[in-house]
Amino acid sequence: MKNSNVFTLISEDNLNKNQIEAISHSSGPALVLAGAGSGKTRVLTLKITSLIRDKLCGSNQILGLTFTNKAANEMKARIEKNIGSKLDFPWVGTFHSISYKILRINSAMLGGTFNNNFSIYDPSDQLKLLKKIIKDLDLDNNKYDPSRMRGKIDSLKNSHLYDEWEFDDEKELQIAKKYQLALEQSNSMDFGDLILKFYELMTKNESFKVKMQNLFKYVFVDEYQDTNIIQFKLINLLASPEKNLFAVGDEDQSIYGWRGANIDNILNFKKYFPETKIYKLEQNYRSTPQILNVSNSLIMNNSERLEKKMWTSNSAGSMVDLQEYSDDREEAKSIACKIYDNKKNYKFQDVAVFYRTNAQSRVLEEEFRKLGVQYRIFGSISFYERSEVKDCLSFLKFISNPNDEIAFDRIINIPSRGVGKKTLEKLKSIFQNSENNFLQTLETCLNSNVFSKKTFSSISNLIKEISSFKLNLETYKSISESFELFLKNISYFDFLNDEDRLGNVSELLNFISEYEQGIDKPDINEFLNSIMLSSSIDQMNPDSSYVTLMTVHLAKGLEFQSVYVVGLEEGLFPHSRAMYSIGELEEERRLCYVAMTRAINYLHLSYCKMRRQFGSIIYSNASQFLDEISSCEEVNILQQSQQVSDESNRVFHYKFGQGYIIDSEIDEYDEVVTVEFDSGYRKKVFIADLEEV
């Protein structure tokens, strides 16, 4: 029976019939197939709102699992707005952040050397540890590539095959075992461990499992199509025995198979949960009919999908532009010009350029800089990966967890303290043969002849400043103030001696200060791991005036008024490795579909006949995905730009140089002409700013 409060929510939010049915779902498993731009977040948050308003559960009894902090924070904010009051949602967050929180509370159950101050190793920390292990084992770095080993270890953990240790040879197995042992000795976990160890606690400890199942009355999962095997198993356990599981997803947007996501989780949902009720959200509220129809024409070519077809009642917009370019330089120049010329209609923050690989951003950057188009790249080196920021975080990690060997390795000689290779090896040997942590080991070694006089003094100062830092925190000084003083007293600012790098450290201190606001007793470990568990997308600022440049994989969940998808060529998009696998080719098509459906009003697709890759010229054919949409009446196939050679139209512009007038129009105040400049730019300028050549 539907509750009157649900009807109130419905009337207030102007929902469609399918959304109403999903929100009105009473109990048991539900799968909401939510196509692109169909209002899935509204449905998800209003469903939770109805549960709280009807007093079916409290906000602390809801487990909400997402894949980004941005999605989790948006979910919380919307529910609070619906309810009209501030609520505590302790269990709404990413899979990793929720797992981290539960493991920290229950660290005593983990066994081994783990305690509640355990560190999280990010991918760069993992690589450093694996490189060290491979070197210690005297193995060939090429044969036992650290990056490949990291990928394999992550994959086995995501697939819940880690106990089986499926490696190519005994040496790989040896590396993996030493890696896992080193993590434990450092009181550390990688991302894969967070979910794996949570699941293992659930399966190995009956009382803990029952406690978790009683804690969460309802389980909500966003972007369900992106779940991997271990996440699926964890969800299944947490939602038992009531199976109050509300999963929202879209198989057409399953694009993370390369990192372990299993599309079967959503395709076979009803098989895994036979009592499931399926709700389809097929009305798109985001895009124009032209963009949606072209996107539908593409995704219909996939066989691994459930039956649904997106539609919209939005007003008609412009056709989808499809353009061929001679090469990647011309493509970048043209797009830079289009964005610059059209900034009256679309501000820079309204525009995004998507590409398949990070390498494609270089030529775009060059052309954007030349024309003065402000941009920001997401997915390249993040702020937290910058050397000086990494140094500071390592200091904090070591202070919080003095068993962290990777943090110790990084900070022991920053600034230089004269700790040589032999001394470092001796310190580590003493550490491994005692029950002391690295900080205690340093203190012990001060009373022996391990250090030279100069090194003795600098190590003594480091230990003293760590103690002072901890004392400052105990006397309720802020982390940011205490840490700034610590860095000053160990001469780190003098060591940097670079304005840009000092600016990055200052920005980090600002981040710490922001984190501390509104928290009674800030926790270093909590701050550190909030950073480890964040992504570049979490740092996006919608109010900043820049064009967004990113790979399509990062674009999911975002939307922009104007979208350019570049490099739609065979071997690039779809990627060459997908050419001989139907499953991988379909994932590439889903990736292209995701890119296209980010657009609200304008979509521009392009490809090049020739592209520079790895220092060579590669000749390309248009992507098969373009063949699949080229017959759509909503596609506008643009001719390749041709430079006009009529000498009588040749002009000079003080800023852009020489070129040819190719078109003219009467502006409200003056005559405006379009000039094809010799540099390759095509721009609209006032005729008064031109001189004849």
Catalytic residues: 40-41, 222-223, 253, 598
Tell which residue, 629, 635, 630, 610, has the closest CA to residue 621. Answer: 610
Tell which residue, 220, 194, 222, has the closest CA to residue 99. Answer: 194
Paired residues of 16 in beta bridges = none
256-120-532-248 Cα dihedral, nearest 10 degrees:
40
- Residue 26 and residue 453: Cα distance in Å, rounded? 73
Residue 578 contacts residue 587 (beta carbons within 8 Å): yes
Tell which residue, 401, 400, 427, has the closest CA to residue 412. Answer: 427
- Residue 266 and residue 236: Cα distance in Å, rounded? 13
- Residue 142 and residue 134: Cα distance in Å, rounded? 10
The H or E element containing residue 657 is strand 657-666
DSSP-derived secondary structure for 80-148: HHHHTS----TTEEEHHHHHHHHHHHTGGGS-TT--TT-EEE-HHHHHHHHHHHHHHTT--TTTT-HHH
φ and ψ at residue 242, rounded to 5 degrees:
-70, -25
Residue 364 contacts residue 329 (beta carbons within 8 Å): no
Please give the structure tokens belonging to residue 325: 């370019």
Percent helix, percent strand, percent coil in the chain, to nearest 5: 50, 15, 30
Q: How far is CA 78 from CA 49, 64, 419, in A?
A: 9, 13, 53
- Residue 260 and residue 162: Cα distance in Å, rounded? 13
- Residue 344 and residue 321: Cα distance in Å, rounded? 19
**Residue in the structure block whose two tokens are 């790098």:** 501
Task: Count Cβ atoms below 10 Å from residue 172 Cβ, excluding itself.
Answer: 19
**Could you give the 3-state DSSP secondary structure of residue 357?**
coil
DSSP-derived secondary structure for 537-600: GGG--TTS--EEEEEHHHHTT--EEEEEE---BTBBTTBGGGTT-HHHHHHHHHHHHHHHTTEE
**Could you give the 3-state DSSP secondary structure of residue 690?**
strand
The H or E element containing residue 675 is strand 671-677
627 Cβ neighbours under 8 A, 6+ residues apart: none
Residue 127 contacts residue 144 (beta carbons within 8 Å): no
DSSP 61: G
Q: How far is CA 37 from CA 283, 558, 579, 650, in A?
A: 8, 10, 29, 47
387 Cβ neighbours under 8 A, 6+ residues apart: 501
476-491: b or e for each residue (b if 16 or more CB lie within 10 Å)?
A: eebbbebbbebbeebe
**CA of residue 271 relative to chain centroid, distance:** 31
> Alpha helices of 216-327 — where are they, by DSSP H?
229-239, 264-267, 269-272, 289-299
- Residue 9 and residue 5: Cα distance in Å, rounded? 6
- Residue 414 and residue 584: Cα distance in Å, rounded? 45
